[in-house]
Amino acid sequence: MGPNLRPRWDPSCGPDGTHPEAPMGPILRPRWDPSCGPDGTPLERLAVCLEESIYIHNIKDMKLLKTLLNTPSNPSGLCALSINHSNSYLAYPGSATTGEIIVYDSNNLVKNI
């Protein structure tokens, strides 16, 4: 790298994404850090959404906590997992043909709605 170029990501970046010595502005941070959420809090769950099943893991030791089998066909693996520790929910399609979703409580490992 030339003397005026810096890597796209630098671990010494400040909280606003800027490097203290960078004359050219913000340096990009990684899109996703597997150890913490956007607010810096540690994550607790990982959901792996496959076409007809979902696996919920404890992210600290990757232990499998729950397997949801026979979910409606979901070829793209669409799901959303909230990162709020007190209200951690997983949403996934409830039907392959209608606009339904299933909300699953990933803290207590029970179907919520």
Each residue's pLDDT tens digit, 5-64: 444 444 555 555 554 554 554 555 555 555 566 666 667 888 999 999 999 998 888 999
Per DSSP (E only), the strands in 1-113 are 45-49, 53-58, 64-69, 80-81, 89-93, 101-105, 110-111
Each residue's pLDDT tens digit, 62-89: 999 999 998 999 999 999 988 777 788 9
Identity of residue 91:
A
Return the domain boundaries, the chain: 1-31, 45-111
Is the pTM value of this prediction over 0.95? no
Q: How far apart (Å, rounded) are the C-alpha atoms in residues 64 and 54?
A: 11
